[in-house]
Chain A
Amino acid sequence: MASATDTALVSEDTTETEAVAAGAVGLAAVLFALSLASVFELVTITDPVAGVPMVALLGGLLVVLGFAVVTFGVGSRLGYVATDPRPTAGLLASGTFGLIWFVVGGLVASQTLGLGTAGWVVASLVTGGAAFAVSAAPREDIGSTLPAGALAVFAGVVFLTGVIGPSWVWDLGWEQQASFNAEFTIPVLTAFCSLLVGWAAAKAYGGFGARGRHIGAYVLVYLNAISIIALLFLLVAFTVLKGLPGLFKGLALGAGAGPEVTLVGVTFSLPVSWPFVMNGVALLNDVNGVLPAIVGTIWLVVGAVLFAVPLGIGAAVFITEYADRGRFTQVVEIATNGLWSTPSIVFGLFGLAFLVPRLGNRKSLLAGMLTLGFMLLPLVVITSRESMLAVPDEYRDASAALGVTKWQTVRSIVLPAALPGIVTGIILGVGRIAGETAPILLTMSGSVAPPGSQTVDVLGGFQLQSAPPFVTNPELMQATSALPYQLYSLITAGVGESSNISAIDEFRWATALILLVVVLGFYAVGIATRYYFRSKLQHD
């Protein structure tokens, strides 16, 4: 560790050299962004940027960046820059560099120089071994900058000299053809090199050693977190942008604009007409909609919740409050966790084999509800159990000391205290099952694009009869649609089945958007509930 006097002595040039290293990190970031932009074809690699073709720009920047990092490393080794390096760069870094250069050597030998198997193996071993040695043998400042910087310079030179130019193609020569072209390869190689050099530069910025490694690692970890969030944002924003036109097509506001509805004997017109969510699909519709699928999804969720929540909470109460911890609770835990990770398509198969033959021998809404209920069940058990375990034992003891029975304690102490956690878990679970396609595909799927008249009316469907089973509901016993299934069938449907829908692409994206809104709505409510209860708990 550097002592206080050391730091004071070198303080004047520290800022300068730190600025150089920070500049290298920034340049690497710019390069990374540029290469991403060309992977996503925002700019093509032949486009001129500030008068220079994109390829040349990327290559030139790589060379500059590589030299900067190598210079920094060498400067540090020769003592011009005050750093605090370790004797070696570490096995992980050396191994990685060795592997990278092994691949580079092999590719150059076999593809560019056209050597045979023996030739490229020897070349790979030589370059890989050299990189490993350069990285492992000298001090950390050389070991972690030289292999990275050399790679960037090498890649830059390859781009600049046109060995990999804009028209470069590498046919893999496989029986099923596939090839790499320049438009993909150049940006991806650039992105990779800039990541590597950016990491080395960040290490240099920290002066190598423990602090350098800390900063180098943090740069990568932060980048990872940012890209995950960026990806989420991109996915949602893209779906919203694509889906909005179809979603609000024909939207009209104003008194009497909407269709007539009858509620509690009073008939009135809704003040809003939103064709996409109020219509089905029909030949004569101005704007086709997904009303049957929306109603189907709602009923599915209601059915699954009615089935799974009482069962799940009951099971959680029994294993937390009644059963002694032992073999039995262990089996229940393993079973619920096993159920939780069971693939959704297996639930679908189970519904097909178990429920469908027993519920009128055809796909039905009820079979879909129960299948999704089976999927929801383990989640309810797990979250309810967790939140009941979190209720402090003092509560139970205090209640028991009043002389009430166990069930009274559970009902009036444990369940109310655990309720926030249970509710949150259920909402998040509902969000998950509302978007599931595979189980209902096998148990409930109806027509591809159902007309508005096929909207299920579960409440109005109940009929009483004198013979068993006394209560029947044909609405529950027939197939219907749901949003995820509708999206799936729209994707895979042939031309004939969806011929009623004119702008099929717009319709698909709008369906995807409304599905996303419904599911993420559940998630937002669930997460918000959790934060609400948590902040309330912290105030107490």
Chain B
Amino acid sequence: MNVLPDSDGAGLRATARRGLRRGRDFVDETPPDALVTVTVAAVSLLAAFAGFLAVSSLTAIPFAVFLVATGYGWLRHQELTARVLTLTTTVSTILVLGLILVFIFAEAWPTVQYATVNVFGVPIPGLRLFIETRWSPVTPPIQYSLVPMIHGTVLVTIIATAVAAPLGVAAALFLSEIAPRTVRELVKPGVEILAGIPSIVYGFIGFTILSPWAADQFDILGQGTYLFVGIVVGLMALPTVVSVAEDALNSVPESMKSGSLALGTTDWQTMTSITLPAAFSGVSAAVLLGVGRAIGETMAATVMLRGSPGLTKPLYNVFYGNDTLTSLIAANYGDADGLQLSALFVAGVILFVTVLFLSIGSQYIEARMRRKLGGAE
């Protein structure tokens, strides 16, 4: 690298210059008709995307041009076309995430604006969503407080984590360190299949079996408790925790474990004093991902909860379950419009942003662990 590390401006300029030079080389080396084909394809695809965004009925025309251009390019200049096509697919993958961000934020904005509060003359958009405690989209005063749903989501997530984290880590230890080969080959697909059972089936069993049973056992008025939704959601998050934590445990170098065993420790001592501490960040990333799953779980909560937003009394009463952020969306999207629909999008934004942060956080932790273990090897 001939880039000066101390000057960002110079570095940027050098990068730009390099990019430009590479671009010029590329144009010089590529046959002109290939270049034209690729350009036509790219421009027409962009036009098609713009047309789709603008809800134009003419979208099909540039898309057809794109198909023809890539077809021609594929036959005559496969190398370049393949490269450009795969680049296009990569860009569109990132674009999907960007579009999700833009669209749910845009839809959420009206309610955020509606819920603006002036604090000492400074307008803070969306604050009323979090300081009121009543969700009342129809009867005046119209309030779109998300506090009850956040409370529900938090309770469910805490219970689910309390179920999924210890059981999941223990199961991961079992699979990666303890189980004999044949047992592992049986248990591992079992855990995967547990992940495969559709959430609506969990919800259905919870709805028909667990909820009536709980109402009877705990002498609750009506059905739907955060406690059992949390347990069911925890079971659903369990496979995520198991598989990610198992990967982390497997990535601890075998030499570290053998070194410990050679000192005469038992397997369990090696696990608690070598393997688990070494894989600790990976295991916590697994728990974070499990928390993310639990927060986003929808159908079991929708089917098993009461769907009447409100705080439980007292706040730690987990035997009553009203609504979570996810179930609010799933249960109310049908008859919602205008500001209420927009409020559902606010709930979606909260979910999306929280889970995205959890995901990025766990990736960061995993990357750090990989670096650390890679260096230790």
Please measure, in the bound complex, the distance between the C-alpha atom of A318 and the C-alpha atom of B85, giving whole angstroms: 9
Q: How far is the CB of B246 from chain A (nearest CB, A)?
A: 12
Is B319 part of the contact surface with A, judged by Cβ < 8 Å?
Answer: yes
Please measure, in the bound complex, the distance between the C-alpha atom of A468 and the C-alpha atom of B52, giving whole angstroms: 13
Nearest opposing residue in chain A for B196, CB measure:
A523
Is there contact, CB below 8 Å, between A177 and B93?
A: no
Is B94 part of the contact surface with A, judged by Cβ < 8 Å?
Answer: yes
Contact of A314 with B86 at beta-carbon distance under 8 Å, contacts A232-B194, A334-B360, A346-B348 already known: yes
Contact of A487 with B93 at beta-carbon distance under 8 Å, contacts A184-B218, A338-B360 already known: no
Residues of B within 8 A of A484 (CB): 198, 200, 299
Q: Is the interface of A mostly helix, strand, loop or mixed?
A: helix
- Count chain B CB atoms within 10 A of each CB in A177, A313, A354, A406 and give the residue with the most: A354
Is B75 part of the contact surface with A, judged by Cβ < 8 Å?
Answer: no
Is there contact, CB below 8 Å, between A353 and B107?
A: yes
Interface size on A, residues (CB 8 A): 109
Q: Is the interface of B mostly helix, strand, loop or mixed?
A: helix
Nearest opposing residue in chain B for A522, CB measure:
B196
Is there contact, CB below 8 Å, between A218 and B268?
A: yes
Q: How far is the CB of A533 from chain B (nearest CB, A)?
A: 15
Nearest opposing residue in chain A for B320, CB measure:
A176
A164-211 with Cβ < 8 A to chain B: 169, 171, 174-181, 183-184, 210-211
Q: Which single member of B99, B193, B204 contacts A520 (CB below 8 Å)? A: B193
Count, A-B residue pairs, CB within 8 A: 304
**Interface with B: A63-71, A251-259, A430-438, which one?**
A430-438
Residues of B within 8 A of A311 (CB): 89, 92-93
Please measure, in the bound complex, the distance between the C-alpha atom of A483 and the C-alpha atom of B241, giving whole angstroms: 28
Is B251 part of the contact surface with A, judged by Cβ < 8 Å?
Answer: no
Nearest opposing residue in chain B for A234, CB measure:
B205
B260-312 with Cβ < 8 A to chain A: 264-269, 289, 292-293, 295-299, 302-303, 312
Residues of B within 8 A of A334 (CB): 360, 363
Contact of A469 with B57 at beta-carbon distance under 8 Å, contacts A310-B89, A318-B90, A350-B100 already known: yes
Contact of A218 with B363 at beta-carbon distance under 8 Å, contacts A184-B218, A346-B351, A435-B199 already known: no
Contact of A338 with B356 at beta-carbon distance under 8 Å, contacts A178-B220, A343-B351, A441-B330 already known: yes
Nearest opposing residue in chain A for B312, CB measure:
A176
Is A381 part of the contact surface with B, judged by Cβ < 8 Å?
Answer: yes
A301-321 vs B, Cβ < 8 Å mask (1 yes, 0 no): 000000000111111011101
Please measure, in the bound complex, the distance between the C-alpha atom of A224 and the C-alpha atom of B187, giving whole angstroms: 11
Residues of B within 8 A of A381 (CB): 93
Q: How far is the CB of B185 from chain A (nearest CB, A)?
A: 8
Nearest opposing residue in chain B for A328, CB measure:
B90
Is there contact, CB below 8 Å, between B351 and A377?
A: no
Nearest opposing residue in chain A for B186, CB measure:
A229
A407-460 with Cβ < 8 A to chain B: 407-408, 410-411, 428, 431-432, 434-438, 441-442
> Which size class do B's interface residues fall under?
35 or more
Contact of A232 with B196 at beta-carbon distance under 8 Å, contacts A210-B265, A343-B296 already known: no
Q: Which single member of A321, A411, A527 contacts B192 (CB below 8 Å)? A: A527
Please measure, in the bound complex, the distance between the C-alpha atom of A353 and the C-alpha atom of B120, giving whole angstroms: 35
Is there contact, CB below 8 Å, between B333 and A442?
A: yes
Is there contact, CB below 8 Å, between B352 and A342?
A: yes
Is B203 part of the contact surface with A, judged by Cβ < 8 Å?
Answer: yes
Q: Which single member of B86, B106, B208 contacts A322 (CB below 8 Å)? A: B86
Contact of A176 with B199 at beta-carbon distance under 8 Å, contacts A341-B289, A343-B297 already known: no
Please measure, in the bound complex, the distance between the C-alpha atom of A210 and the C-alpha atom of B293, giving whole angstroms: 37
Q: Which single member of B61, B93, B218, B289 contacts A468 (CB below 8 Å)? A: B61
Residues of A within 8 A of B179 (CB): 225
B91-108 with Cβ < 8 A to chain A: 92-94, 96-97, 99-100, 103-104, 106-107
Is B10 part of the contact surface with A, judged by Cβ < 8 Å?
Answer: no
A233-265 vs B, Cβ < 8 Å mask (1 yes, 0 no): 001101100000000000000000000000000
**Interface with A: B24-32, B39-47, B135-143, B168-176, which one?**
B168-176
Contact of A519 with B196 at beta-carbon distance under 8 Å, contacts A341-B293, A469-B59 already known: yes
Is there contact, CB below 8 Å, between A338 and B198?
A: no
B110-147 vs A, Cβ < 8 Å mask (1 yes, 0 no): 00000000000000000000000000000000000000
Please measure, in the bound complex, the distance between the C-alpha atom of A527 and the C-alpha atom of B319, giving whole angstroms: 39
A333-372 vs B, Cβ < 8 Å mask (1 yes, 0 no): 1111111111111111110111001100000000000000
Residues of A whose CB lies within 8 Å of any CB of B are 1, 169, 171, 174-181, 183-184, 210-211, 213-214, 217-218, 220-222, 224-225, 228-229, 231-232, 235-236, 238-239, 310-315, 317-319, 321-323, 331-350, 352-354, 357-358, 374, 377-378, 381, 405-408, 410-411, 428, 431-432, 434-438, 441-442, 467-471, 484, 487-488, 491-492, 508, 512, 515-516, 519-520, 522-524, 527
User: Can you identify 25 A-B contacts, CB atoms within 8 angstroms?
Assistant: A176-B312, A176-B313, A178-B218, A179-B219, A218-B268, A225-B187, A228-B187, A231-B235, A314-B85, A319-B90, A331-B94, A341-B289, A343-B298, A348-B329, A350-B100, A353-B104, A353-B106, A378-B93, A435-B197, A435-B201, A437-B200, A442-B329, A512-B200, A515-B200, A519-B197
A-B pairs, 10 with minimum CB distance: A343-B296, A435-B198, A314-B89, A469-B60, A318-B86, A178-B319, A175-B313, A214-B268, A214-B266, A341-B359
